[in-house]
Amino acid sequence: MKHIASDGDLELYMNEQSMAFAVKDTRNSKVWYSDPLSDPSFTGSADDSNRALVKISVNDYGTVKNYDSFNHSVKSGQFDTVNIKNGVKIQMVIGQTKVITALDLPQAVEKERFENEILVKLSDDEKSVLEKRYSLYSLNDPNLLQRKRESALKKFPVLQERDLYILNNSIPDFTAKEVKDILRSIGYDEEQIQKDNDDNGADIEVEPILRYDFEMEIALKDGQLSVSLDCSRLTRDKDINVTKISLLEMFGASHNKQDEGWLLLPDGSGSIQNINGENSGYPSYSIRIYGEEKAIRKEQQFGAVEQSILPVFGEKLGDSGFVAMIEDGDALASVNTNLKGTSTFSSIYPSFTVAESALIDAGFADAAASTNVPMTQPDTYTGKISVRYSFLCGKEADLYGMSQLVRNRYQQLKILPTEKLEPSEVPLNVEVIGSVDKSSSLLGIFPVRKNEAATTFTQAKEIVDMLHDRGIGKINLHYLGWCNGGLYTKQVQNLNVEKVLGGKKGLQALDEALTKNGDTLYPQVQLVSVQNTKGFNTRKMAARALGNNLSTVYHYDVATGNSFNYRIGTYVAPAYLSEYISTFVKSYRPLGLSSLAVTDIGRDLYSEMNKSAGLNREKSKEMAVQSLSLLENQHTAISSGNMYTWPYADYISSIPLDSSRYNREMHAVPFVQMVMHGLKGYSSKPINNGYDYRHQMLLAVSFGADATFRFTYTADDFLNGTYFIDNLSTDYRNWLDIVSDYYQRTSEVFKKIGNSDIIEYKQLQKDVFSTAFENGVNIIVNYGENDVTINGQTIEAQDWLCRGGTDA
């Protein structure tokens, strides 16, 4: 390999014949290869596709075809490299290789079009090539031989109406390729060739050649490796489109049996997979950044899937490692792994869905007809995708080292603040359910639904007072179902505080009382989705799903995985988000409330599949970010917290504290929390609404998260007969002792921790994990069902122990 550039501790090398490259970390001489076959220590055999820097999937009339930059660019010589500052630019054509013949050229072109739309765009030399291969035929030409006249008229009867340039006979293949390349250079493609053939009566079907132009840059910047791919030359076609692009699939791949290390996945809070899983037959994984595409309907969901909120992945290999940050195109990205056992190698890499595709039910009336039709997103992404790789060695090559590189980068980009949080009282987050529509009857005969209060504003204040009486400090009160129909909320452009809860005056009185005691009221709203579409202009303002039907907000039955057919809302069209949120803000401002909780804008991301006004997820993300700026005058808590919302969130609620627990994962890790802790506050999901509240408590304390509980003033059975029976145990009376005990223990620990970094997370033994903080506090959690002894101290089953540290 040839030396290309040096920057900081890194050196970049490249094989200009194969596109393969390597990055050398001079601190420990570790070399990271773009593919394992370029590593001199690799002695096995593997498919040449493992050498590819780029792989693409093409949806061809519903059939997926795969191409890669080695087999379908390097081998055919369809690439070129150009040196740039601290790196190299690769211009490549990926796709089918086909012998070009005369049948791939326009057989006849109308005279005016040939001269004014083709020849005029060519250089003199190029013009000469075409003029030698095409002859002008005109029935008014006295010099045209009768034999040629009759032959041309037989082949092209339209010659009676207009003059034509007709392709000469016996064009050799190499000349045909030369002509085709010249035409292609001015944008004259297969579609235009077919048009001229059809217009002039040439009975030849031009088969499209699936070839796609990309420009890739590989460079060292600020001591890191920057890799980008320009997709601006991708074209939108009705039936044939590039749908997915994978980047550097085999970069840093582990191929030796003795390798030790792990892969870091952005699954929920983060998770790690053993890099050396040769004995496992479980398949590899793909995790969608920012959650699944909501514009593709999904009527069933099995198992709990944690939201991926951070576009980051990494690898630790021996005493070296890297962490990679997806920067451009993150809304389109997935993180994927290859794992030994089902593959020769273990690797981790990003892919980008530049156009969604799926089989969509077309709703045919004929039951015998096929209802599944292949469809592709109307708006293909044609921007840039980029990934930044940072390298670690020695003691820094661990989770904490990776988290610090991500934190530093996000502080540079102003995604995270540079200043640490000021020490403050540890809060308890309490969600209360307000108004709920329930089944009732009119005159004891006619079934109706009417709103009833699960917790009035006065009762919410009573709950808060009882919690304070038990020694609980600051409370953040998140109020669900306080306006516009209650928990089954209608559009929020025109706010009406629920009268059954106490009305506008009751809400303001609650806010005043809480503020006086040092607590904070967070009325909770949904700003990108509408649960109850009554009164919402769906025709104008609702986003469209693939297939051009209304987008759907599904809620799933935990037991069956099926969606509730009586709780289907819709999403706000991205193009109308600013208008929708701006109108909400104007309606919210007169209430005089300083804080707000938003449940969906940091969780749900979706494309606009409207055929006439489509938007991909990246554009939708940008519109969501623009809309968030409208909330800058509110103290805003954002649920889940997709990374692009962090600059606008004063607090992240319901942050993921676990992974999806896929089979090949070793365990979850608090990687998101390592990046965020001490810079921005965050809380758990409602602990009493999970499958095992003790386990949820342990996760919260281990990951440094403020606790959240969800309550009603009414008894648990109040929610029977409502749309919200999935709220399992909410009667606050049943939880007062548990919450009080938990808060007393954790608040003392969190006071010691303060704004310190999480510097280590490790497994001590089965079901026992340790979280270490920068100031010496160490929390050991026993998730198991049996007591354990660690360094002479017993930790009871499903309990935790804190050691070290002093009060902050």
Residue type at 725 in one-letter notation? I
Same domain, 282 and 352: yes
pTM over 0.85: yes
Same domain, 162 and 85: no
Same domain, 137 and 67: no
For the cut 50, the answer to whether the pLDDT of residue 368 exceeds it is no
Q: Which of 389, 412, 435 is the last residue of a domain?
A: 412
The tokens for 564 are 């509730």
| Rounded-to-integer distance, Cα 326 and Cα 319, Å | 24
Same domain, 188 and 227: no
- For residues 404-421, one letter each, b for 16 or more C-beta atoms within 10 angstroms of the residue's C-beta and e for the rest, the string is bbbbebbeeeebbeeeee
pLDDT 10s digits, 33-91: 999 999 998 887 788 999 999 999 999 888 899 999 999 999 988 899 999 999 999 99
For the cut 80, the answer to whether the pLDDT of residue 304 exceeds it is no
How many other CB atoms sit within 10 Å of the CB of residue 370?
A: 9
* CA 63 to chain CA centroid, nearest Å: 24
C-alpha dist (Å) from residue 617 to 290, 354, 378, 608, 645: 10, 9, 12, 8, 15
Q: If 0-12 CB within 10 Å is exposed, 13-18 middle and 19+ buried, where does residue 484 land?
A: buried
| Rounded-to-integer distance, Cα 283 and Cα 290, Å | 22
Among the listed residues 449, 601, 453, the one whose alpha carbon sits nearest the alpha carbon of residue 534: 449
Which range among 345-354, 498-507, 655-664 shows the weakest confidence by mean pLDDT?
655-664
DSSP assignment letter at 72: I
Same domain, 394 and 269: yes
Among the listed residues 191, 127, 121, the one whose alpha carbon sits nearest the alpha carbon of residue 165: 127
Task: Please state the domain count of the chain.
Answer: 3
| Rounded-to-integer distance, Cα 748 and Cα 752, Å | 7
Average pLDDT of the residues of the chain: 92
Q: Which of 208, 243, 277 is the last residue of a domain?
A: 208
pLDDT of residue 109: 96
For the cut 60, the answer to whether the pLDDT of residue 302 exceeds it is yes
- Do residues 330 and 280 touch, judged by C-beta distance below 8 A? no
Question: Range of 790's domain?
Answer: 770-808
How many other CB atoms sit within 10 Å of the CB of residue 802?
A: 18
For the cut 90, the answer to whether the pLDDT of residue 547 exceeds it is no
| Rounded-to-integer distance, Cα 34 and Cα 337, Å | 15
Q: Residue 367's pLDDT band (boundaries 50, 70, 90)?
A: very low
- Average of pLDDT values for 720-748? 90
- Average of pLDDT values for 567-583? 94
Residue 695, H or E segment: helix 693-702
| Rounded-to-integer distance, Cα 784 and Cα 719, Å | 33
How many other CB atoms sit within 10 Å of the CB of residue 465?
A: 13
- Do residues 145 and 171 touch, judged by C-beta distance below 8 A? no
Among the listed residues 227, 708, 657, 674, the one whose alpha carbon sits nearest the alpha carbon of residue 427: 708
Q: Does residue 238 belong to any structural domain of this protein?
A: yes
pLDDT of residue 412: 98
Helix orientation angle between 736-753 and 693-702, rounded to the nearest 10 degrees: 10
Residue type at 529 in one-letter notation? S
pLDDT of residue 557: 66
pLDDT 10s digits, 376-428: 898 899 999 999 999 999 999 999 999 999 999 999 999 999 999 998 999 99
| Rounded-to-integer distance, Cα 770 and Cα 779, Å | 6
pLDDT of residue 366: 43
DSSP assignment letter at 331: G
Q: Residue 559's pLDDT band (boundaries 50, 70, 90)?
A: low
Q: Residue 446's pLDDT band (boundaries 50, 70, 90)?
A: low
- Do residues 35 and 20 touch, judged by C-beta distance below 8 A? yes
pLDDT of residue 406: 99
Q: Does residue 600 belong to any structural domain of this protein?
A: no
The tokens for 283 are 């398949």
Among the listed residues 579, 666, 573, the one whose alpha carbon sits nearest the alpha carbon of residue 630: 579
Strand stretches in 377-454, DSSP E: 384-393, 428-433, 435-442, 446-453
At 423 the three-state DSSP class reads coil
The tokens for 755 are 């704004």
Same domain, 113 and 49: no
Give the CA angle between residues 710, 711, 717 to the nearest 5°: 115
For the cut 60, the answer to whether the pLDDT of residue 369 exceeds it is no
- Average of pLDDT values for 276-304? 79
Same domain, 308 and 225: yes
pLDDT of residue 531: 92
Same domain, 236 and 373: yes
Among the listed residues 658, 652, 709, the one whose alpha carbon sits nearest the alpha carbon of residue 683: 652
| Rounded-to-integer distance, Cα 218 and Cα 87, Å | 6
CATH of the domain at 363: 2.70.98
The tokens for 262 are 């792990």
Compute the residue count for the chain: 808
- Average of pLDDT values for 15-44? 93
Same domain, 217 and 312: yes
Q: Does residue 403 belong to any structural domain of this protein?
A: yes
pLDDT 10s digits, 635-674: 999 999 999 999 999 999 999 999 988 878 899 999 999 9
Q: Does residue 80 belong to any structural domain of this protein?
A: yes
For the cut 80, the answer to whether the pLDDT of residue 683 exceeds it is yes
Same domain, 39 and 127: no
Same domain, 257 and 404: yes
Q: Residue 364's pLDDT band (boundaries 50, 70, 90)?
A: very low
| Rounded-to-integer distance, Cα 478 and Cα 680, Å | 18
Which range among 491-500, 684-693, 738-747 shows the weakest confidence by mean pLDDT?
684-693
The tokens for 763 are 């497994």
- Average of pLDDT values for 494-508? 97
User: Higher model confidence: residue 238 or residue 379?
Assistant: 379
- Average of pLDDT values for 135-159? 90
pLDDT of residue 303: 67
pLDDT of residue 41: 87
Q: Does residue 66 belong to any structural domain of this protein?
A: yes
pLDDT 10s digits, 601-615: 999 999 999 988 999
pLDDT 10s digits, 759-788: 999 999 999 999 999 999 999 999 999 999
Q: Residue 264's pLDDT band (boundaries 50, 70, 90)?
A: very high
Q: Residue 237's pLDDT band (boundaries 50, 70, 90)?
A: confident
C-alpha dist (Å) from residue 741 to 541, 697, 734, 744, 745: 47, 11, 13, 5, 6
Q: Residue 565's pLDDT band (boundaries 50, 70, 90)?
A: low
pLDDT of residue 280: 62
Q: Which of 361, 379, 412 is the last residue of a domain?
A: 412
Same domain, 17 and 125: no
Phi-psi region at 493: left, alpha or beta (left = phi > 0; alpha = psi -120 to 50):
alpha
- Average of pLDDT values for 428-448? 82
| Neighbouring residues of 40: CB distance < 8 A, sequence distance ≥ 6 | none
Q: Does residue 68 belong to any structural domain of this protein?
A: yes
For the cut 80, the answer to whether the pLDDT of residue 443 exceeds it is no
For the cut 70, the answer to whether the pLDDT of residue 528 exceeds it is yes
pLDDT of residue 563: 67
For the cut 60, the answer to whether the pLDDT of residue 105 exceeds it is yes
Q: Does residue 523 belong to any structural domain of this protein?
A: no
Q: Where are the alpha helices (DSSP H) in 207-350?
A: none
Q: Does residue 345 belong to any structural domain of this protein?
A: yes
For the cut 60, the answer to whether the pLDDT of residue 365 exceeds it is no
| Rounded-to-integer distance, Cα 324 and Cα 22, Å | 16
The tokens for 612 are 């006439």
- Do residues 136 and 64 touch, judged by C-beta distance below 8 A? no
